[in-house]
Amino acid sequence: MKFMPQIKQAIKRVKTQEAARQLNIGQKNDMRTTVKKFREAAAAGADNAQDLYKDAARALDMAATKHLIHKNKAGRDKSRLHALLK
């Protein structure tokens, strides 16, 4: 951090923002992992690819709901993943 605020509420906001940032990073990583698992299963032609697609689509929707990614990106990614399923 470049500077530390002097005002009590500003100090509190810095702590809160850092906690939220760490949480967002974790949730985004979980989403990416879920999508990656589906891509690997779809490429291998695994039997559970349909279930993994549902998990990946849900993860993308949840990330869009929490504003981790844009809703249009979620839709675009779901469309591309569904094309891999066919």
Structure tokens given for 44 = 């291998």
Give me the chain's average pLDDT, please: 96
Q: What band does 3 get if pLDDT is binned at 50, 70 and 90?
A: confident
Model pLDDT, residue 1: 63
19-46 confidence digits (pLDDT tens): 999 999 999 999 999 999 999 999 999 9
Model pLDDT, residue 14: 94
Cα→Cα distances 8→2, 11, 22, 37, Å: 17, 5, 22, 44
The separation between CA 54 and the C-alpha centre of its own chain, rounded to angstroms, equals: 14
44-68 confidence digits (pLDDT tens): 999 999 999 999 999 999 999 999 9
Q: Which of 19, 18, 14 is closest to 3 using CA atoms? A: 14
The separation between CA 69 and the C-alpha centre of its own chain, rounded to angstroms, equals: 7
